[in-house]
Structure 1
């Protein structure tokens, strides 16, 4: 994996984490936290979406949507665990 790929992963993770934080109110993790939430959210979505037959296509926009939806799911699960 080249430096360009890592840079794209970090940028998509940051955007997805920030968008997920805006969608799920009460979550703001800063830049590094947003990157981690976005990357982990993309991983979660990568596990869940193929099972239910959902796909968003390729490219950067598809990656951002994919990671954002996964990050929203992740933040929702974190909120449920915190309440319990």
Structure 2
């Protein structure tokens, strides 16, 4: 059951991050889930020590963990845009 919640929350966070980075028209539902989950891993690696909280991948569904996971997804999309287009957007 936790896996299904993890997929749903990852998809929502990936979708919100793609809307912030203006890449929503280029991504589908599956890519939004992937961006949300990989972004949560990235946020856990980079931002979790700064905020002192976990991420959605660490079974921590607090507001701070959702924020860290969301910021990780935004950072992931910024890196992808930088590599593909040469600018963050």
Same fold (TM over 0.5): yes
Matches within 5 A, 1:1-84: 4-28=1-25, 29-51=27-49, 53-55=50-52, 58-84=60-86
Shift of 1:60: 5.0
- Tell me, in whole angstroms, the C-alpha distance in 1 between the residues paired with 2:82 and 2:33: 21
Aligned to 1:59, the other structure's residue is in SS state: coil
- Tell me, in whole angstroms, the C-alpha distance in 2 between the residues paired with 1:19 and 1:50: 19
Structure 1's unaligned 5+ residue stretches are none
| TM-score relative to the length of structure 1 | 0.80
- Tell me, in whole angstroms, the C-alpha distance in 2 between the residues paired with 1:80 and 1:38: 18
Runs (4 or more) in structure 1 with deviation over 2 Å come to: 55-66
- Tell me, in whole angstroms, the C-alpha distance in 2 between the residues paired with 1:66 and 1:22: 17
* Number of equivalenced pairs: 80
| TM-score relative to the length of structure 2 | 0.76
Q: Which has the higher contact order (CA 8 A, sep 6+)?
A: 1
Shift of 1:54: 1.6
Structure 2's unaligned 5+ residue stretches are 55-59
